[in-house]
Structure 1
Amino acid sequence: MHKCLDLAPLLLTLTCLFCCFSMISSSSQASSDGFLQCVTEANVSVLEQGEGLFNKQLNKYIRNPKFLANTTGRPLYVVMPANAPHVQAAVRCGRDNKMPIRVRSGGHDYEGLSYRSVDAGGFAMLDMSELRTIVVDNQTSTAWVESGATLGELYHAISEASNLLGFPAGVCTTVGVGGHFSGGGFGTLMRKHGLAVDNIIDAELVVANGTLLNKTTMGDDVFWAIRGGGGGSFGVVLKWQVRLVTVPETVSVFKVSVHNRHGAAVNAVTKWQKVAPAMPGELYIRALVQNDAAVFRAVFLGTCDALLPMMTSKSDGIPWLNLRHSDCKEMTWIESMAYVNNSTVKGLRKRTASDFDSIHGFKATTDYVRHPIRREVWTKIFDKQLAQPMAQVVLVPYGGRMSNVSEDATPFPHRAGVLYSLQLYNYWPVESGDGGAMQTRWVRDMYAFMAPYVSSESKPRGAYFNCRDLDLGTNWGPKYFKGNYERLTKAKAAIDPHNYFSNEQSIPLPK
């Protein structure tokens, strides 16, 4: 969302604006020169605007192609650290030369705030893509993973160490660990094992003075804050230690599509929202509304023989999906992660975006549903989606382990009482050149339409930080974090009292 500057036609105002701009430009130039010299002397690789490789590296991990436009506020420098001392040096150089730093791990930030600026001045981007070492310890069922690794690389490394271990995180395997872990991290194992942040047991954090801290030295409040309180607020997390979870030898998956002839898909989703959150934690069934159909994709921690009776039970199952044994496929956990990502096990290590994602911009937002939505409302939702063929409504079931973790255990508060999360997406080909105005308007209109059905008992209306949305306005903090927001501001004051790490939706200092 770009803000327009309303210039009053007064000479005094113009003079003030010119003076402010002159001071900012002069200061920015001084800090730029000092920063560049500082990181260069520290032997940290840095690319400067105007260099041949600058745009190539910057654009390499921009996952929302709408931000490839020339109007995007780009960094002055792309800094490429190769180790912890490089990160520490870059942060010190930035602080000492008043050069703000933003940190990018995988580039999936929906609003691009890890690599672009909406309304701030010049900044440097710390590109973590070279810091992606993963060390798995079978003996303790733990792993250390650097923030520049992708989820796919983490899953692949775990599977090479053991076929009986996994990790509960997202299904999009090109997402960077650093951003994903910072905001929560949900996926197919969430109903059995919780979120990624529920399974983080240590971390290494570089703070504004360049000091490297671990769980003990950063303190309980800051360690709590970085596990779900959002990236770009407290420092640079170099790496995370995670507790791995046990997965069975055999995992089952299925995909069933229900077309909306005679309202069949509407009926299916209306029933799904009551049943899916109440199913055993081993079963995850996601629903996708698109092109006048509902597509149900499932991952079950067990065999097809165990899954089928559960699905066909008339009392507490989902018999209306008419799941047959031939619809069910058995595989290993790592193969199931490839399956839900429409990839191969080898392909999980691929860091580049899919062909579709590389040419389509998108707008997205999120909600949480606590009470089943009525059938007649779902009929309207289907009709609205059908008007935008590339729009999607994604429904992710909660319940299970998600209901057993308290709201304040981590900054991520959307736990007990939530039936499912609802995500609105709309896509457009960036080559069309229209900026997706119509598709963005659809997301905003649908968000407004959904208000009576998602916010009746959730004040303020909830949202998920890892699906960041600048349209949430100035009250975004309580929407993402509910009652945990105030504690996050106090943790911010303790670790970054001068607000060095900041962006348009970073945790502010307490008022």
Structure 2
Amino acid sequence: MAKPGFSSGGPILLLLVLSLSISPNGLLLAVASEESKGTAYDAFVHCLTNHTDSPIKGQASSNIWFVHTKNTSYYASILRAYIRNARFNASSTPKPLIILTPLQESHVQAAVICAKSQSARLRIRSGGHDFEGISYTSNEPFILLDLFNLRSVTVDIQNEIAVIQAGATLGEVYYKIWEQSKVHGFPSGLCPTVGVGGHFSGGGYGNMLRKYGLSVDHIIDAQIVDISGRILNRKSMGEDLFWAIRGSGGASFGVILSYTVKLVQVPKIVTDFRIQRTLEENATDLVVQWQQVAPHTDARLFLRLLLQPVTMKSDSYKTKTVRVSVLGSFLGRADELVKLLEKEFPLLGLKKQDCFEKSWIDSMIWWFGFDNDTRVDKLLDRNPDSAWFLKRKSDYVQTSIPRDGLEYIWKKMIDLGKTGFVFNPYGGKMDEISSDATPFPHRAGILYKIQYSINWYEPGDEAEKYYTTQIRQLYSYMTPFVSKNPRRAFINYRDLDIGVNNFDKNSYEEGKVYGVKYFHNNFEKLVKIKTAFDPENFFRDQQSIPVYPKSDSGAAKILQSSLYVTLMAEVIWSFAFYSF
């Protein structure tokens, strides 16, 4: 084909070239088997080779295996290892055409450049705990970029910082901090196998959020591979993009390689406890008082509430009821904690013998659900191939639920029989940080966050429909008691029920439906940043940040640029020339 120009088609072809430069299109990469070699597969691998300075393929034992197709030996085990929700481990679940397991940063750069050149969709996975499987599934043909090899954690205790790659797990982060200091920690999650990339980029919280806020509140630098394949840090990406990747989910803007975080100080001894009550043991009054205390007490104290429908058995009968568990974590000693709660939360009836004093790292092990005598190196276990079927949803509460409202909720929980709640109190440091300091908007005015939780073990569509219907019904029953206009949600508790974006339309309007629920007043700023840094919306999924319509986007500004004016003048001149 002749080069574009007036001599081979005149203004019509020039307009076509301009159109293509603004609206990318192309063939989706189709690599279904090794038979594809010589076509799209070889083109993709050739592109990867040209954009990295190290081998991308080899024997598995040589530890340089990077590209995996469906017919390679490690494809299935790699895909399955970080599927944390068994709902997305079925034969019918869409599978990636290729799995890329980068061993160094240049591999990630090459993956972005080559996927873009082939118009292949990327999914980015660090720990696989996305509740809707978005990090490793797609309804479009896609390539999975799995970051589990990029998991270094470098701790600098003297300066109280750590540089953490996105593929590290929270257990590895805590272990590495503990190796260097027994009086430092980091305010982050309560599951050791959660990946840093998704957890930090969505906000990240744990049992120190009332004292220190969220994980994102302590990020001081980051590295990201952008749409052009460049590695950017805070200085080179600019403050807008740095703001956006600390609470928006991150993957809408590129591939996050690492975060640099500021560590926090913790006491040598902290205190944990668990107290349980049923409805027959005055649990309703306990929850009423919990709402008055948990969001307002000493910021060092985190009082999580678990509510579960249970069947109590005795020799002669069974009783369906609700069990309420209060799990406490206090950055201090037991004597001080008991005195505090005797005054503020007398219905709890906490005694010193209910308390466990321990180091911060041992406290984290307890919160992870391990036995008290568990070795610290258990935190390094990534626990592959462990998953159950699950569904999660979220809400925020701004006004205490009255007693009669709680009694209504208990009845619905008992009637349904399976779905439970987790209430996580806010207040403390969360009240002090502005709602627009990061994309995470749920700060002052929030009493607590609700996580709806249901797990099951039976495979199949019928079981999934039964259990997901239960949790959706309970979510519906809660409408009068939670935030409104919009009804808020937490991005790290991913929930496709609240809205999805159609891949063909890439609609701003569809994105706004879920966007304002996750990000409230920060949504529009995120869309502006997304449109500026990824105007063609290459980094997208079912709930990514959308871009503005073309008339409002950076592409429209290009059309108005002086270059475009010059080109159009040439087109008009050429049209006049050919017309006569």
TM-based fold match above 0.5: yes
Where does residue 330 of structure 2 map in the other structure? Answer: 300
Distance 1:26 1:58, change over 3 A: closer
Q: Is 1:183 aligned to residue 210 of structure 2?
A: no
- 1:5-24 correspondence to structure 2 within 5 Å: none
Separation in structure 2 between the aligned mates of residue 82 and residue 271 of structure 1, nearest angstrom: 52
Where does residue 449 of structure 2 map in the other structure? Answer: 421
Q: Is 1:268 aligned to residue 298 of structure 2?
A: no
Structure 2 unmatched runs, 5+: 1-24, 32-38, 57-65, 311-321, 500-509, 550-580
Other structure's SS at 2:294 match? helix
Other structure's SS at 1:124 match? strand
Q: CA deviation at 1:498?
A: 1.8
Where does residue 13 of structure 1 map in the other structure? Answer: none
Work out whether residues 486 and 510 of structure 1, in 8 Å CA contact, stay in contact via their aligned partners in 2: no
Work out whether residues 32 and 97 of structure 1, in 8 Å CA contact, stay in contact via their aligned partners in 2: no
Identity of matched residues, %? 43
Separation in structure 2 between the aligned mates of residue 327 and residue 111 of structure 1, nearest angstrom: 37
Letter in 2 for 1:268: L
Structure 1 unmatched runs, 5+: 1-22
Other structure's SS at 2:284 match? helix
Where does residue 116 of structure 1 map in the other structure? Answer: 137
- 1:174-213 correspondence to structure 2 within 5 Å: 174-213=193-232
Separation in structure 2 between the aligned mates of residue 402 and residue 32 of structure 1, nearest angstrom: 49
Work out whether residues 265 and 293 of structure 1, in 8 Å CA contact, stay in contact via their aligned partners in 2: yes
Separation in structure 2 between the aligned mates of residue 40 and residue 392 of structure 1, nearest angstrom: 50
Where does residue 350 of structure 1 map in the other structure? Answer: 381
Q: Report which of the two structures shows the higher radius of gyration computed on alpha carbons.
A: 2
Separation in structure 2 between the aligned mates of residue 359 and residue 192 of structure 1, nearest angstrom: 32
- 1:129-168 correspondence to structure 2 within 5 Å: 129-168=148-187
Identify which of 459, 465, 474 aligns with 1:446: 474
Letter in 2 for 1:470: L
Where does residue 47 of structure 2 map in the other structure? Answer: 38
Separation in structure 1 between the aligned mates of residue 464 and residue 289 of structure 2, nearest angstrom: 33
- 1:187-266 correspondence to structure 2 within 5 Å: 187-261=206-280, 264-266=282-284
Other structure's SS at 1:466 match? coil
Separation in structure 2 between the aligned mates of residue 40 and residue 308 of structure 1, nearest angstrom: 62
Cα deviation 1:344-380 (Å, max 9, x = unaligned)? 3222221116x9xx35211111000000011122122
Separation in structure 2 between the aligned mates of residue 39 and residue 379 of structure 1, nearest angstrom: 60
Q: Give the total of aligned pairs.
A: 478
Where does residue 15 of structure 1 map in the other structure? Answer: none
Work out whether residues 66 and 435 of structure 1, in 8 Å CA contact, stay in contact via their aligned partners in 2: no
Work out whether residues 114 and 232 of structure 1, in 8 Å CA contact, stay in contact via their aligned partners in 2: no
Identify which of 506, 525, 529 aligns with 1:491: 529
Other structure's SS at 2:259 match? strand
Where does residue 107 of structure 1 map in the other structure? Answer: 128
Separation in structure 1 between the aligned mates of residue 280 and residue 46 of structure 2, nearest angstrom: 66
Where does residue 363 of structure 1 map in the other structure? Answer: 391
Separation in structure 2 between the aligned mates of residue 493 and residue 415 of structure 1, nearest angstrom: 26
Separation in structure 2 between the aligned mates of residue 361 and residue 73 of structure 1, nearest angstrom: 17
Letter in 2 for 1:441: T
Distance 1:294 1:87, change over 3 A: same
Higher relative contact order (CA 8 A, sep 6+): 1
Where does residue 545 of structure 2 map in the other structure? Answer: 507
Work out whether residues 101 and 501 of structure 1, in 8 Å CA contact, stay in contact via their aligned partners in 2: yes
Distance 1:360 1:383, change over 3 A: farther
Separation in structure 1 between the aligned mates of residue 526 and residue 234 of structure 2, nearest angstrom: 16
Other structure's SS at 1:227 match? coil
Other structure's SS at 2:167 match? coil
Q: CA deviation at 1:388?
A: 4.6
Separation in structure 1 between the aligned mates of residue 83 and residue 114 of structure 2, nearest angstrom: 25
Q: CA deviation at 1:433?
A: 6.0
Cα deviation 1:99-150 (Å, max 9, x = unaligned)? 1111000000011111001x3x211011000011000001110000000000
Separation in structure 1 between the aligned mates of residue 332 and residue 379 of structure 2, nearest angstrom: 22
Letter in 1 for 2:365: A
Separation in structure 1 between the aligned mates of residue 29 and residue 108 of structure 2, nearest angstrom: 24
Where does residue 574 of structure 2 map in the other structure? Answer: none
Cα RMSD for the two superposed structures: 1.8
Identify which of 330, 338, 345 aligns with 1:318: 345
Q: Is 1:471 aligned to residue 497 of structure 2?
A: yes
Separation in structure 2 between the aligned mates of residue 288 and residue 129 of structure 1, nearest angstrom: 32
Q: Is 1:70 aligned to residue 91 of structure 2?
A: yes
Letter in 2 for 1:62: I
Work out whether residues 289 and 295 of structure 1, in 8 Å CA contact, stay in contact via their aligned partners in 2: yes
Other structure's SS at 1:417 match? coil
Other structure's SS at 1:493 match? helix
- Normalising by structure 2, we get a TM-score of 0.80
Separation in structure 2 between the aligned mates of residue 153 and residue 74 of structure 1, nearest angstrom: 28
- 1:322-337 correspondence to structure 2 within 5 Å: 322-337=349-364
Letter in 2 for 1:386: I
- Normalising by structure 1, we get a TM-score of 0.90
Separation in structure 1 between the aligned mates of residue 256 and residue 469 of structure 2, nearest angstrom: 35
Separation in structure 1 between the aligned mates of residue 426 and residue 148 of structure 2, nearest angstrom: 32
